[in-house]
C-alpha cells in the first residue's frame, strides 16, 4: 500500500489559530510518501519503530490500527521541522495507508484523526496543518463561520470549522533557514506570553483580524494587498517572539522582488514565504543569504493513494 500527502504553508494566522483565531493555509507541491506492508515487527525505514524518532507514525498506529505489525517505508520531499508541515504530511499519508488497509478510507476521518495525532504528539495544536494536507488547495479554519464547512472539531472551549477557500494560483517561494524549529517549543513559548500578558492577547487578536482582511484580496487576486497583509502579519509574529535572525535575513532579501514576505509555520527557525511575480529572483536572493529556496505551487490534491 503506497500513499502520499502534500506539505503546506500557512499564509495567515499561525499561532493565533491555536487560540481560536482564523487561519488560511495552502497545500503545496512537495509530498511525503509512505509504503506499508504487514511484517513480523514494527520497523520504520529499516529501524525498529521508536517513540523518539517516529512519534507521529506511532500515534497514528495507536489511534487506528490493531492489526499485525507493519514495515513502514517513508520518503519525503519536505525537510523536517521546516515550517512546511512535514509532521502533518507524514501523519496524513500514514493514516491514509492504515485506513485504506482497513477499508475505512474517508476524507473527513483522515482529517479528524490527523488533528488528533498532532494534538496528542505536540500536546497542543490547531487543525490547520492536518486539514490542509488532507483536503489540498486552500483551507480556512474559523471558529464561527458555519456556511459550507467541510467538518468541525472541538477541543475544550475551542471550536474550529474547516472550510475550503478560493485562492488564486499564487507564485510563492519558500525559504528554508536550515534551522529546525520545534512547533511544540514555539507554541509553548507563545502560550507563556499569552497567559501572562494582555498585550500578547491583543497581538493574537490582531493576527486574527489580518487573516479575515486577507480573504477578499485573495479572492480578488489583489497581490499588492495580500503582500501588505503578509508583512503586517510578520511584524505581529515577531512581537510574539517566534521570528529568528535567519528568517529576517531571508525576508529582507526577498522583499526586493516580492509583494510581501513572512515567516510561515511555528517559526523559531523553519521557513519564510514570499509572494512574488519573480520566483527566480526571490529564490536567488534567498540562497545568497544562505537559505534553501523552493519555488512552490499550490497542490490541488490532498492525500492520495499512489
State the residues that interact with ligand MEV by CB under 6 A.
Answer: 10, 14-15, 17-18, 125-126, 128-129, 183, 187, 265-266
DSSP-assigned letters across all residues of 155-167: ETTEEEEEEE---
Please identify, using beta-carbon distances, which residue of 72 and 266 lies nearer to ligand MEV.
266
- State the chain's maximal CA–CA distance in angstroms: 56
Residues 6+ apart with CB under 8 A from 274: 172, 173, 175, 251, 254, 255, 257, 258, 260, 261, 282, 286
Please identify, using beta-carbon distances, which residue of 15 and 163 lies nearer to ligand MEV.
15
Tell the smallest beta-carbon distance from residue 49 to ligand MEV (Å). Answer: 24
Please identify, using beta-carbon distances, which residue of 40 and 157 lies nearer to ligand MEV.
157
Tell the smallest beta-carbon distance from residue 1 to ligand MEV (Å). Answer: 27
Residues 6+ apart with CB under 8 A from 286: 173, 175, 250, 253, 254, 272, 274, 292, 293
Q: Give whole-number Cα distances, 11 to 299, 301, 302, in Å.
A: 14, 18, 17
222 assigned to active site? no
Please identify, using beta-carbon distances, which residue of 35 and 209 lies nearer to ligand MEV.
209
Q: Of these residues, 51, 71, 129, 147, which one is catalytic?
A: 129
Tell the smallest beta-carbon distance from residue 14 to ligand MEV (Å). Answer: 4
Would you please indicate which residues are annotated as catalytic (active-site) residues?
A: 129
Amino acid at each position: 500500500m503506497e500513499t502520499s500527502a502534500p506539505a503546506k504553508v500557512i499564509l495567515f494566522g499561525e499561532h493565533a489559530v491555536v487560540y481560536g483565531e482564523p487561519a488560511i493555509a495552502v497545500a503545496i507541491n512537495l509530498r511525503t510518501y509512505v509504503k506499508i506492508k504487514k511484517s513480523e515487527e514494527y520497523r520504520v525505514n529499516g529501524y525498529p519503530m521508536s517513540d523518539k524518532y517516529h512519534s507521529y507514525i506511532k500515534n497514528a498506529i495507536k489511534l487506528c490500527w490493531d492489526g499485525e505489525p507493519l514495515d513502514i517505508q517513508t520518503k519525503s520531499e519536505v525537510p523536517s521541522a521546516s515550517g512546511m508541515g512535514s509532521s502533518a504530511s507524514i501523519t496524513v499519508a500514514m493514516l491514509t495507508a492504515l485506513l485504506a488497509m482497513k477499508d475505512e478510507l474517508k476524507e473527513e476521518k483522515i482529517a479528524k484523526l490527523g488533528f488528533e495525532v498532532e494534538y496528542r504528539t505536540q500536546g497542543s495544536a490547531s487543525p490547520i496543518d492536518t486539514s490542509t494536507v488532507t483536503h489540498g488547495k486552500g483551507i480556512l479554519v474559523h471558529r464561527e463561520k458555519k456556511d459550507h464547512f467541510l467538518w468541525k472539531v472541538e477541543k475544550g472551549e475551542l471550536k474550529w470549522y474547516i472550510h475550503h477557500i478560493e485562492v488564486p494560483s499564487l507564485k510563492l517561494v519558500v525559504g528554508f533557514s536550515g534551522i529546525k524549529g520545534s512547533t511544540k517549543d514555539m507554541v509553548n513559548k507563545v502560550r507563556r506570553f499569552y497567559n501572562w500578558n494582555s498585550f500578547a492577547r491583543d497581538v493574537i487578536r490582531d493576527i486574527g483580524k489580518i487573516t479575515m482582511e486577507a480573504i477578499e484580496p485573495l479572492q480578488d487576486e489583489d497581490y499588492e494587498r495580500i503582500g501588505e497583509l503578509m508583512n503586517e502579519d510578520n511584524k505581529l509574529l515577531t512581537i510574539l517572539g517566534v521570528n529568528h535572525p535567519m528568517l529576517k535575513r531571508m525576508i529582507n532579501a526577498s522583499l526586493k522582488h516580492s509583494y510581501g514576505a513572512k515567516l510561515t509555520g511555528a517559526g523559531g527557525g523553519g521557513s519564510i514565504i514570499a509572494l512574488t511575480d519573480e520566483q527566480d529572483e526571490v529564490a536567488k536572493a534567498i540562497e545568497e543569504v544562505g537559505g534553501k529556496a523552493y519555488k512552490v505551487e499550490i497542490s490541488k490534491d490532498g492525500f492520495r493513494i499512489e
